[in-house]
Structure 1
């Protein structure tokens, strides 16, 4: 759960900084977004 809270903190910072990137990403929403989220969770879970 430590890794998870670390992931959440990084994600919050990234969301605050990257609103433009977020807007661009919203155009490609759907499967790719879920896959990206999964990959990030897997990545931080393996640390």
Structure 2
């Protein structure tokens, strides 16, 4: 399991939202699915 952690006080920073949207994107999911062929399962 991957956990994204930020410093206290940065929880609402704009870059955090950008990072989460990018990480949870269909493109990243497709990359994980293709690269790891079922050995890694996305959970978002």
User: Normalised by the shorter chain, which TM-score bucket?
Assistant: 0.3 to 0.5
**Larger RCO (alpha carbons 8 Å, 6+ apart):** 1
The structure number with the bigger radius of gyration is 2
- Give the TM-score, by structure 2 length: 0.39
